[in-house]
Amino acid sequence: MARTIHPTAWVDPSAELEDDVVVGAFAVVGARVVVGRGSSIGAHVVVEGPARIGDETHIFPFATVGLPAQQRAPLAGSEDSLLVVGKHNVIREHVSIHRGTGGHETAIGDHNLFMAGCHVGHDATIGSYCTLANGVQIAGHAVVEDYVNFGGLSAVAQHVRVGESAFVAGGAMCERDVPPFVIVQGDRARVRALNRVGLERRGFTKAQIHTLKKAFRAIWVQRALPPTVAAERLAIDHPLVKRLVAAVIPAPPPVDDRF
């Protein structure tokens, strides 16, 4: 089907809009933007490139997508830095998502919901099936894995990783990595419980959740040892537990081969 572009919208001649794309009133679609089939760009939305927006992604009024990074460093040289947004995302009002820096990209997966007022900084990576409630702030270079849910007004600092199927409670301030499968809460955010409800909704079996619960108790509840030591000594041979343990045990420092 044909594209629908409101007469007050401005679409750069170099932009590529696939079939069924709708562009609303006073929206701006800039140079080197590709918008996938069936997507919609709402009224007053600004999309700058280079950026690729996947199929069936819907951007609501006053969102800004693909603008340069917020940084003090000169923006020159970041013209080829990219934003890649996957398929079936919903980006609500006043969300801001910035593209990468230094030739790198900001990457968004599929089937995510960004509620009003969220921010995703430059060079960040968001997986798939994530929900960011109103006002969530993801700093530059942060990594959010699949199936993570954020409560409103929570935040993730630069270079922090949030593991899969974690739940970040409302108002939580994450300044250190969040392990997968857990709930974190507070300022500063700390591990509080296993995200049992989230795992059930994702389709984990009772046996899988029971195994993760045993591992969680051994690492964080019994408190006989620091969590890193308890994780190292954990004797549960299960792939999900191994992913949990890998996130708790700090990685070794890089080897300096100059000597």
- What local confidence, expressed as pLDDT, does residue 72 receive? 85
* 3-state SS, residue 100: coil
Q: Which of 200, 217, 236 is the last residue of a domain?
A: 200
- What local confidence, expressed as pLDDT, does residue 250 receive? 80
Same domain, 137 and 187: yes
- What local confidence, expressed as pLDDT, does residue 1 receive? 67
- What local confidence, expressed as pLDDT, does residue 2 receive? 80
The band of 257, judged by pLDDT with boundaries at 50, 70 and 90, is low
Has residue 254 been placed in a domain? Answer: no
The DSSP output letter for 12 is -
Same domain, 33 and 138: yes
pTM for the complete prediction? 0.95
* Nearest-10 crossing angle of helices 206-216, 239-248: 30
Residue type present at position 157: A
CATH code for position 106: 2.160.10.10
Has residue 255 been placed in a domain? Answer: no
Q: Both tokens of residue 185? A: 């809460």
- What local confidence, expressed as pLDDT, does residue 24 receive? 98
Distance CA 179, CA 111 (A): 22
Same domain, 177 and 210: no
The total of structural domains in the chain comes to: 2
Distance CA 238, CA 228 (A): 18
The band of 174, judged by pLDDT with boundaries at 50, 70 and 90, is very high
Would the pLDDT of 259 be above 60?
no
Mean pLDDT (whole number) for 92-112: 97
The band of 74, judged by pLDDT with boundaries at 50, 70 and 90, is confident
Domain limits for position 18: 4-200
Would the pLDDT of 252 be above 90?
no
CA-based end-to-end distance of the chain: 64
Mean pLDDT (whole number) for 129-151: 98
Residue-by-residue DSSP string for 110-173: SS-EE-TT-EE-TT-EE-SS-EE-TT-EE-TT-EE-TT-EE-TT-EE-TT-EE-TT-EE-TT-E
The band of 170, judged by pLDDT with boundaries at 50, 70 and 90, is very high
Positions annotated as catalytic residues are: 122-123, 140
Span 4-51, pLDDT tens digits:
999 999 999 999 999 999 999 999 999 999 999 999 999 999 999 999
Would the pLDDT of 217 be above 80?
yes
Maximal CA-CA distance, the chain: 67
